[in-house]
């Protein structure tokens, strides 16, 4: 019988649009793949499925999501998985691991497509095409919640009131555009608190990048005129804005107001710079997103261009994972559904090939785009040339990635030989500690694989037990916590990440020498872990980088030639762990600087802490205050005052 077990996450779009039920079954021997058992689970689920749109999730014996799919008619689609002889090998492996299913019904197939993209992004299943790049796209935000709106870079949820322009391919493109826009429109970029505190213009006014509304150098109506021009320019009316500025410049010159004319001339140059750096041959295109796919050597690359108002706002290459056995058109469609899960689509989406369900995808994107979306394969003219340009960039980006991967594979192979490993490592973990005389100590774990650094697997450890300036004790604690948890969660060592990398390391690199190596060996021996390859990396004589010494568990030492590619690769791994550890330590230290002793008192939040500090001046005076003085503090009740007093005077 279908039921919803405790802990099942709610539908991400709410119960009004989706209804979710999870069909769970207890299967003996479920830990091992078994095609017959997987088919039985699916058949039991099919018996209760409706012939309506929805999304299905397949789970393995641990409850991890194997696959997320959508269907116009759930019953018909899921039934196909029981016809094993018609399935490719990839799907047969998936069915053999399936031990339960989750079913979500939707109002339409378009809703199912949107929900599928959300769930793939959330669960990152092993058998779905995955958009690897999780970095959010930057936007330019022109806020509207102030009399003098602020121009700023924005990432994340678009909750602030104002106009958003983007997406831009990267922070560099946004920063360059904002710098030019400041010269062009003289809009403020400072925070509201900074704006309110000014009594004289800041440096941006002096270098002609702000009109200084904070000190009244421009009135509200004139500033609003600059805001209007900025909206027109970013909205695609750049030529009209340039003509307006040029007309004002000539008028000021004829009136012998040469100072104003010079200012307008500089603004006109800034507009020309923006157009010159972002112009593309996109006459009549307006807003469009352009995508092209290239595949080679079992890898897939997708190039995206973002055109807004005929201006190129950058491009980015993506390399989706889990594309084996899928057609290029299916990969591109799945990629687009996930890509637009958070990024607002343009009204025109140009692709280099026909998609199997282009109409359905356009319908699903209609709501987030605020109107009709057209997905098309251009056949002639400027649009065709732009897609060809994207295709060329996709092929070049994929060639670069394959070359880098070849170098990476060669480095891993040579490192395996140098370090006497049984096989080429697929998961390398690098460890380092950072602290100042034992204070604010942090341990760091960095992970690398065949594709490079796997940043979603990085971990930091706040050192709890080894409080003294003892690097060896800190390393023991980090290793005990890391591998103690690994023994609990995956004692059989057969789990993999969403990128296909095992959760147990094939090699552990430690930033340190004999002492650190001994500490790590002792920690792992206590846990019964004796088969993980360990290598210590220490600086050579006079701590000279390039003369690193490699320490083996049996006490042997090895040095590599200064021009060895393996040495360069090990240095990169060590330096990345060092960078990550120092960053975590600095963050912890900065948080401690801003902390207050009042934070330790239960029930004292920011408002009450502010009231106490305003009344007494310092945390020390709060500690020394009498109970009656605490009661007289505005905003502090008698019960809270008693709690504060008892915290500092437990024996009173």
CB within 8 Å of 84: residues ≥ 6 apart: 35, 39, 92, 95
Sign of CA dihedral 25, 29, 32, 34: negative
Residue 650: HSE in the Cβ half-sphere, 13 Å Cα cutoff:
2
The answer to whether the beta carbons of residues 95 and 84 sit under 8 Å apart is yes
SS3 633: coil
The answer to whether the beta carbons of residues 486 and 411 sit under 8 Å apart is no
SS3 249: helix
Token look-up 């960039």 returns 393
Separation of alpha carbons 243 and 237, rounded Å? 10
Spell out the domain ranges in the chain: 19-123, 139-278, 288-306+318-399, 428-490+500-592, 597-648
Residue 154 is predicted with a pLDDT of 87
Separation of alpha carbons 538 and 511, rounded Å? 6
pTM above 0.75, yes or no: no
Separation of alpha carbons 446 and 431, rounded Å? 7
Sign of CA dihedral 121, 123, 129, 132: positive
Separation of alpha carbons 600 and 603, rounded Å? 9
Distances (CA, A) of 279 to 168, 177, 230, 372, 493: 14, 13, 17, 26, 53
Separation of alpha carbons 631 and 416, rounded Å? 69
Sign of CA dihedral 362, 365, 371, 377: negative
- Number of residues assigned to the chain: 652
Token pair for 639: 């019960």
The answer to whether the beta carbons of residues 478 and 520 sit under 8 Å apart is no
| CATH number, span 19-123 | 3.40.1440.10
CB within 8 Å of 596: residues ≥ 6 apart: 609, 613, 619
Separation of alpha carbons 172 and 192, rounded Å? 24
DSSP 543: G
Residue 302 is predicted with a pLDDT of 93
Report the DSSP pairing between strands 65-71 and 19-24: unpaired
What topology does CATH give the domain 428-490+500-592? Nucleotidyltransferase; domain 5 (3.30.420)
Burial class, 221, CB count within 10 angstroms (exposed 0-12 / middle 13-18 / buried 19+): exposed
Other beta carbons within 10 angstroms of residue 256's beta carbon come to 7
Q: Using alpha carbons, select from 136, 143, 148 the residue that is nearest to residue 165.
A: 143
| CATH number, span 597-648 | 1.10.150.20
Residue 10 is predicted with a pLDDT of 39
Residue 541 is predicted with a pLDDT of 65
Residue 11 is predicted with a pLDDT of 39
The answer to whether the beta carbons of residues 300 and 293 sit under 8 Å apart is yes
Residue 7 is predicted with a pLDDT of 38
Residue 42 is predicted with a pLDDT of 92
Per DSSP, helices labelled H in 503-637 are 514-527, 565-594, 606-616, 619-624, 627-631
Residue 557: HSE in the Cβ half-sphere, 13 Å Cα cutoff:
12
User: Taking CA 414 as the corner, what is the angle to CA 412 and CA 418, rounded to the nearest 5 degrees?
Assistant: 115
Strand pairing partners for 67? 58
Report the DSSP pairing between strands 288-296 and 348-351: parallel
CA 573 to chain centre: 21
Q: Using alpha carbons, select from 130, 132, 159, 121 the residue that is nearest to residue 143.
A: 159
User: Taking CA 458 as the corner, what is the angle to CA 509 and CA 585, rounded to the nearest 5 degrees?
Assistant: 90
554-557: list long-range contacts, CB under 8 Å, 24+ apart: 555/514
Strand pairing partners for 82? none
Separation of alpha carbons 259 and 256, rounded Å? 9
Q: Which residues of 481-508 are buried (b: 16+ CB within 10 A; e: fewer)?
A: bbbeebeeeeeeeeeebbbebbebbbbb
CB within 8 Å of 406: residues ≥ 6 apart: none
- Cis-peptide, bond into residue 327, ω within 30° of zero: no
Token look-up 């040469």 returns 258
Residue 282 is predicted with a pLDDT of 55
Divide the 652 residues of the chain into consecutive groups of 10 and give the mean pLDDT of each group. 35 43 40 83 90 92 90 92 88 91 90 90 88 76 88 83 83 80 84 86 86 89 87 73 74 75 72 56 72 89 86 84 86 91 87 92 86 90 88 90 83 90 90 76 89 87 74 87 87 71 87 88 88 87 71 89 87 91 79 64 79 80 84 85 82 62
Report the DSSP pairing between strands 374-376 and 348-351: parallel
Q: What phi and psi, each to the nearest 5 degrees, are found at residue 475?
A: -65, -40
The answer to whether the beta carbons of residues 140 and 134 sit under 8 Å apart is no
How many Å from the N-terminal Cα to the C-terminal Cα in the chain? 61
The answer to whether the beta carbons of residues 102 and 12 sit under 8 Å apart is no
Secondary-structure breakdown of the chain: helix, strand, coil percentages, each rounded to the nearest 5: 45, 20, 35
The DSSP H or E segment spanning 307 is: strand 299-308
Q: Using alpha carbons, select from 314, 306, 308 the residue that is nearest to residue 287.
A: 308
Question: In 243-298, which ranges are E strands?
Answer: 288-296
Sign of CA dihedral 284, 238, 362, 301: positive
Q: What phi and psi, each to the nearest 5 degrees, are found at residue 237?
A: -105, 45
Token look-up 């929805």 returns 54
């Amino acid at each position: 019988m279908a039921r919803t077990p405790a802990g099942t996450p709610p539908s991400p779009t709410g119960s009004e649009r989706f209804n979710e039920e999870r069909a769970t079954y207890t299967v003996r021997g479920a830990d091992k793949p078994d095609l017959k058992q997987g088919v039985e689970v699916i058949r039991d689920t099919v018996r209760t499925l409706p012939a309506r749109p929805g999304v299905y999730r397949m789970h393995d014996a641990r409850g991890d999501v194997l696959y997320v799919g959508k269907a116009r008619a759930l019953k018909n689609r899921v039934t196909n998985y029981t016809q094993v002889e018609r399935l490719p090998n990839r799907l047969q492996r998936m069915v053999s691991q399936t031990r339960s299913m989750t079913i979500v019904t939707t109002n339409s197939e378009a809703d199912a497509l949107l929900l599928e993209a959300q769930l793939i992004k959330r669960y990152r299943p092993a058998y779905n095409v995955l958009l690897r790049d999780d970095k959010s796209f930057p936007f330019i935000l022109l806020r509207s919640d102030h009399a003098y709106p602020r121009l700023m870079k924005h990432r994340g949820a678009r909750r602030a009131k104002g106009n958003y322009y983007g997406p831009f391919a990267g922070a560099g493109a946004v920063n360059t555009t904002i710098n030019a826009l400041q010269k062009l429109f003289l809009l403020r970029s400072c925070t509201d608190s900074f704006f309110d505190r000014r009594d004289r213009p800041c440096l941006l006014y002096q270098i002609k990048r702000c009109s200084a509304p904070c000190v009244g150098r421009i009135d509200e109506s004139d500033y609003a005129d600059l805001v209007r021009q900025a909206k027109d320019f970013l909205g695609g009316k750049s030529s009209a804005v340039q003509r307006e500025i040029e007309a004002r410049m000539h008028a000021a010159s004829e009136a012998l107001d040469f100072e104003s004319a010079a200012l307008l001339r500089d603004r006109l140059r800034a507009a020309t710079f923006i157009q010159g750096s972002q112009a593309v041959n996109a006459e009549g295109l307006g807003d469009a997103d352009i995508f092209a796919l290239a595949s080679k050597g079992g890898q897939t690359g997708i190039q995206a261009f973002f055109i807004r108002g005929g201006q190129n706002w950058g491009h980015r290459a993506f390399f989706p994972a889990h594309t084996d056995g899928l057609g290029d058109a299916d990969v591109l469609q799945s990629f687009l559904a996930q890509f637009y899960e958070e990024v607002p689509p343009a009204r025109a989406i140009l692709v280099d090939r026909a998609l199997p369900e282009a109409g359905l995808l356009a319908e699903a994107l209609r709501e987030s785009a605020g109107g009709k979306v057209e997905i098309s394969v251009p056949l002639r003219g400027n649009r065709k040339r732009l897609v060809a340009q994207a295709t060329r960039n996709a092929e070049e980006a994929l060639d670069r990635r394959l070359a880098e991967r070849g170098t990476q594979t060669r480095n891993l192979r040579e490192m395996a030989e140098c370090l006497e490993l049984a096989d080429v490592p697929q998961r390398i973990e690098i460890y380092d500690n950072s602290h100042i005389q034992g204070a604010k100590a942090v341990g760091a774990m960095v992970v690398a694989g065949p594709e490079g650094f796997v940043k979603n697997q990085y971990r930091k450890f706040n050192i709890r037990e080894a409080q003294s300036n003892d690097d060896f004790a800190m390393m023991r604690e980090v290793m005990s916590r890391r591998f103690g948890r690994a023994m609990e969660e995956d004692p059989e060592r057969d789990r993999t990440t969403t990128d296909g990398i095992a959760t147990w390391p094939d090699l552990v690199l430690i930033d340190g020498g004999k002492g650190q190596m001994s500490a790590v060996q002792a920690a792992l021996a206590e846990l019964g872990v004796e088969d993980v390859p360990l290598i210590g990396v220490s600086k050579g004589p006079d701590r000279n980088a390039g003369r690193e010494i490699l320490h083996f568990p049996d006490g042997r030492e090895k040095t590599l030639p200064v021009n060895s590619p393996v040495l360069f690769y090990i240095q990169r791994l060590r330096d990345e762990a060092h960078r990550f550890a120092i960053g975590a330590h600095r963050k912890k230290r900065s948080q401690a600087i801003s902390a207050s002793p009042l934070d330790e008192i239960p029930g004292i939040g920011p408002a009450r802490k502010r009231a106490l500090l305003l009344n007494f001046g310092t945390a020390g005076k709060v500690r020394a205050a009498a109970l009656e003085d605490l009661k007289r503090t505005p905003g502090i009740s008698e019960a809270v005052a008693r709690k504060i007093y008892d915290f500092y005077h437990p024996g009173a």
